[in-house]
A and B are shown apart, each in its own frame.
Chain A
Amino acid sequence: MTSAILRRPRGEAGNATGERKQGPRRLLTRVAVFAVIAAVPPLLFDDYWVFMSAQVLAFAIATLGLDVLYGRTGQMSLAHASFMGVGAYTTYLVSSLGYGLAVQLAAVAVVSLIAALVVAVPTLRLSGLRLALVTLAFGELLAWVVRNTTDLTGGTQGASVDPLIIGQLDSSEPLHAYLIALVPAAIATALAAHLGRTQLGRRMLAVRDTELAAESVGVAVSRTKITAFLISAVYAGVAGWLYAAITGFISPPDFDLFASVYLFVAVVIGGAGTVVGAWLGAAYVVLVPELFTLAGQPNLYPIVGGALLAIVALLVPDGIVGLGRGAWRRARRVRDAQEGAT
């Protein structure tokens, strides 16, 4: 069949089963790259930038979660920061009762799952902008609850969160906070990367691209959407948990509509549907506003963010990651052409 139909020469070679090689070497390379990058902040940065880096780790879990929901499943959410808020306020309440790591995490997971169901089930029939608007209402609801429960949550004044103590580590120390955040960030990254190799991950892509084809092979479209919501909410909740522990202080503006929009922009700019894109997005959403603040121009951030989003949406729909991949493909094509000519 190759002769007649497939005129393009040169595919990437697969291994014996036709699958892309995913041997231990490839995995080791990835782990090594992750480890080298992760070692940079503690070795080279001062306390302040280690603190910022710890926040990048927390936000990376959030953007990875949003990427599962939006990048892979195509469900647009403007409540992702609110889901971080759910995690952060749950952490605050549980930790102020004196509970530690295990109970905090369990509570964050359970409350996040419930919140996700509350949003995902009624919105099953919605998509795109209409879904985004409903999720936005959820964010407003959360803000309203916090504002009106000052005794419990600190209201608009915000609340101080007790530092997280794990053995010798104390999250109020920037370096310790960084080390504490590193573990869940690594796990979240590994699981998100692995998701692409499961049928669960493929169902999400199918729901995003063509619900008809998805259904035609037996995919449960609604269940897939809900699962994506659940995963993304737990990711956001864990991110909020870390955020509360690292910064030691939370207040409603941390999790408002703007925060949700910035997360969304971050995922799109980084490259929706890719793990690396989610990390780039997290770095963007934490570090860029900080750089503007340091430069004395904090108000420029939203403007630059909006402009960047417009540019990415119009010119590089696959984000920074897509830009890199496009260059790689072009290079390969040039090489193919040269080899073909000789």
Chain B
Amino acid sequence: MSASVETGAPPVVRIDGLTVRYGAFHALRDVTVSLPAGRISGLIGPNGAGKTTLLNAISGFTPIAEGRVHVGDRDITALGVRRRALAGVVRGFQTVRLLERESVWDNVLIGTERFAQPSALSQFFALPAQWRAHRRATAAAAEVLDLLGLRRHAHRRVDELPFASRRLVEVARVLVSSPSVILLDEPAAGLDQEGRQELAAVLTRVHDNHPSTMVVVEHDVDLVKTLCSYVIALDSGAFLCDGTPAKVFGDRQVQLAYFGRAAGVDA
């Protein structure tokens, strides 16, 4: 992933006093939390805790009632989805969203939108700027397809692929432009044990090659422990606790909320 858009160290993402309401229902209530710069954070919590809502708020997909979102020094609260993406905040979806009738290749290439794009006229009439952009984009896509083991499927239509591969295409579309803030919503859902381990290895490698501030929503405790150096726990729209995996998974409140019991009680 050579052609990165952002330069410099990955930013910290600060969420201050964030409240998201759907009608009278609070999906998130006064959440203040930071995603530490340049690390892979795990976002955990039971179903309906507000994990996806938090990613939506950071990426601009949901209107927020109160609070602010900062990426580094920049207040992005007022920016739309597209402006945030161009500023380096890119998310994957819990529900895989692909161009169903198109190839894996095109599904990944669409993610290169953040690279410098020649004008529509240059593209349409295949002017030299288009060829340079094309080479840049295809090189980045080839690299990420290799990383995720999708290369041999590059020209298959995504609607022909098994679910697990489709999930990886969703991840590849996010990774291809090397965003500085990466938000992944249950990227390992639907993968088997081996696949989950491999995905964790790939994400670690991506992160080593191109440092970013990454958040991964994930239910599997072991996977979070392998992948993440930081964990944030939510429950029923409220912030529960954050810190190292050992600290968070050892937390009594987290165990109660997340496993419905405190550790050792069922012995």
- Give chain A's interface residues, CB within 8 Å of chain B: 1-8, 10-14, 17-20, 191, 194-195, 197-203, 205-206, 208-210, 212-221, 227, 231, 273, 318, 329
Contact = CB atoms under 8 A, between A and B. Distances in A.
Contacts of B152: 2, 6, 10-11, 13
B149 A231 contact: no
B39 interface: no
Contact of B134 (A1, A4, A197, A205): A197
10 contacts: A1-B199, A4-B194, A5-B149, A8-B156, A14-B105, A14-B155, A205-B102, A217-B85, A218-B114, A219-B113
B181 to A, nearest CB: 12
Given A3-B194, A11-B154, A210 B98 contact: yes
Contacts of B191: 4-5
B82 A219 contact: yes
A213 B81 CA distance: 10
Given A6-B150, A200-B124, A202-B106, A217 B173 contact: yes
B100 interface: yes
B189 interface: no
Given A12-B155, A213-B97, A199 B168 contact: no
A6 B98 contact: no
For the side of the interface on B, what is the size category? 35 or more
Contacts of A202: 99, 102, 106, 109-110
B91 interface: yes
Given A17-B138, A206-B110, A215-B85, A6 B101 contact: no
B126 interface: yes
B98 A209 contact: yes
A204 to B, nearest CB: 10
B125 interface: yes
Given A8-B165, A199-B113, 16 more contacts: A1-B149, A8-B156, A12-B155, A14-B155, A19-B138, A191-B126, A197-B134, A200-B123, A202-B106, A202-B110, A205-B110, A213-B93, A217-B85, A217-B111, A218-B82, A218-B86
B8 to A, nearest CB: 19
A340 B27 CA distance: 51
A214 B97 CA distance: 9
Nearest to A199: B117
Nearest to B104: A11
B61 interface: yes
B153 A8 contact: yes
A27 B61 CA distance: 42
Contact of B198 (A1, A194, A213): A1
Contacts of A199: 109-110, 112-113, 117, 123, 133, 137
Interface stretch (B12-20, B40-48, B139-147, B231-239): B139-147
B120 A17 contact: no
B111 to A, nearest CB: 5
Interface of B: 59, 61, 81-82, 85-86, 90-93, 97-103, 105-106, 109-114, 117, 120, 123-126, 130, 133-134, 137-139, 141-142, 145-146, 148-156, 160-162, 164-165, 168, 173-174, 177, 191-192, 194-195, 198-199, 202
B139 A1 contact: no
B124 A191 contact: yes
A213 B173 CA distance: 9
A217 B194 contact: no
A11 B153 contact: yes
Nearest to A213: B97
A321 B142 CA distance: 28
A2 B113 contact: no
Residue among B90, B99, B100 facing the most chain A CB atoms (10 A cut-off):
B99
Contacts of B142: 14, 17-19
A11 to B, nearest CB: 4
A218 B113 contact: yes
Given A6-B153, A199-B137, A206-B99, A215 B82 contact: yes
Contacts of B198: 1, 4-5
A11 B158 CA distance: 12
Contacts of B154: 11-12, 14, 18-20
Residue among A1, A14, A199, A200 facing the most chain B CB atoms (10 A cut-off):
A1
B159 to A, nearest CB: 10
B155 A215 contact: no
Contacts of B103: 20
Contacts of A5: 149, 162, 164-165, 168, 191-192, 194-195, 198
Contacts of B109: 199, 202
Contacts of A212: 61, 93, 97
Contacts of B123: 195, 198-201
Given A215-B85, A227-B120, A273 B194 contact: no
Residue among A14, A199, A203, A206 facing the most chain B CB atoms (10 A cut-off):
A199
Contact of B91 (A8, A216, A227, A329): A216
A8 B126 CA distance: 35
A217 B114 contact: yes
B155 A7 contact: no
A318 B86 CA distance: 34
B110 A203 contact: yes
